[in-house]
Amino acid sequence: DLRDQAAALAQASSQTESPAVAAQRNPKIAELQREIERARNSLRVLRESYTDSHPDVRRLVAFIEGREKQLEELMEEDRKQQAAAAGAQGKAPSGVVITQGNLDRLRELNSAIVRLQAALQAKDMEIDDYNRQINDLKNRIKATQAKLESGASISQEYLQLVRDRELAARRYEELGKKLQESNMATDLVSRGQSETMEVLESPVIPEEPVAPNRPLIIAVGVAIGLAVGIGLASVREIKDTSLKNLKDVRAYTKLTVLGSIPLLENDFIVRRRRRIAWLAWALAVLVGVLMMAGAVFYYYTQRG
């Protein structure tokens, strides 16, 4: 654990002079420590908004590393001065024997302490960031649950309002009918006819039907049929380009006709033509009878 390592290093370096004691003796060290602390606080604030790759964060990290190196150099110079002063007096401060090995070990311990403190601060900031993300997710979950609950309640309220509207519409119709009956009863009571009613005049039944006007329909149908027949015959005659007699031949060829060959028909062809004509007329009569029967049947069914 980083905290255990920092505690062990602090215990190992407790036999030497601490940075706080050196800061009390040297104002430059104290000022540099305060500057580093302010820079670390600013870095903590920046990391809450930006990542470590942001230019401002990287610039501030480089600044802190440079100041930490300056602090180590100042403390090293201060320790050397104290060692020199103690050597001149013939003794070491606080009963500690100053050697080059102790100085190197002290330098390594201080560097390790600084690195561990920076790592601890970074981990604390990372933990704070995770806690903020967890709280944000919890708030989002609560908001989503609230929306779901409110949506379900809104749908239930809507269905209840629809049912209330249907019931109110039915009640309105019933009250309207009752109001009409009440108005009618009130009118009869005001006229004194609420209990005794008599027919003053019987209704007159028409002797002839008002609609449909069959003679007019028949006349219009005959007229339309004749017009359509004449029109179709005229169109057929106009489109017919066949030559039917010698006059048509002379008019079309602009030549004199020297002779003509009459149409020779045998008895079989004549009988066949007559049979086809009779079948056509019989079919037309049958269709007419069926149409008339259908019209009569429709009339009596509608009348009944």
Q: What is the per-residue pLDDT across 174-187, written as a single tens digit (0 to 9) for each?
A: 888 888 887 777 77
- Cα gap 141→144, rounded to integer Å: 5
Whether residue 170 is contained in a domain is answered as no
Q: 249 with 257: CB under 8 angstroms?
A: yes
Whether residue 263 is contained in a domain is answered as no
Closest to 75 in 3D by CA, of 43, 103, 52 = 103
Number of structural domains the chain divides into = 2
Same domain membership, residue 150 and residue 280: no
Highest mean pLDDT, choosing among 68-72, 74-78, 80-84, 207-211: 68-72
110-160: pLDDT as tens digits: 777 777 777 777 777 888 888 888 888 888 888 887 777 776 677 788 888
Same domain membership, residue 280 and residue 151: no
Tokens describing residue 290: 């069926």
DSSP code at position 288 = H
Share of the chain above pLDDT 70, in %: 77
Whether residue 50 is contained in a domain is answered as yes
Identify which has the larger pLDDT, 219 or 104.
219
Q: 93 with 86: CB under 8 angstroms?
A: yes
The pLDDT value recorded for residue 90 is 46
Average pLDDT (25-36) is: 77
* β strands within the chain, DSSP E: none
Helices (H), 240-304: 246-253, 267-303
Cis omega (within 30 of 0) for bond into 206? no
Q: What is the dihedral of CA 181, 182, 185, 189, to 10 degrees?
A: -170
Tally of residues, the chain: 304
- Cα gap 109→99, rounded to integer Å: 15
* β strands within 195-234, DSSP E: none
Residue 216 has pLDDT above 80, yes or no: yes
Same domain membership, residue 16 and residue 149: yes
- Cα gap 36→29, rounded to integer Å: 10
Whether residue 123 is contained in a domain is answered as yes
| Torsion over CA: 144, 148, 154, 157 (sign) | negative
CA distances from 54 to 38, 49, 126, 218, 219 (A): 19, 10, 16, 99, 100
Whether residue 117 is contained in a domain is answered as yes
Same domain membership, residue 148 and residue 8: yes
Amino acid symbol at 79? R
Domain with 44 in it: 2-156
Whether residue 221 is contained in a domain is answered as no
Whether residue 190 is contained in a domain is answered as no
Which of 123, 156, 189 represents a domain boundary (last residue)? 156
Which of 156, 173, 196 represents a domain boundary (last residue)? 156
Which of 156, 186, 203 represents a domain boundary (last residue)? 156
Q: What is the dihedral of CA 264, 265, 266, 268, to 10 degrees?
A: 160
DSSP code at position 13 = G
Whether residue 90 is contained in a domain is answered as yes
Residue 93 has pLDDT above 80, yes or no: no
> Global pTM?
0.28
Backbone angles phi, psi at 214, to 5 degrees: -65, -45
DSSP string, 114-141: HHHHHHHHHHHHHHHHHHHHHHHHHHHH
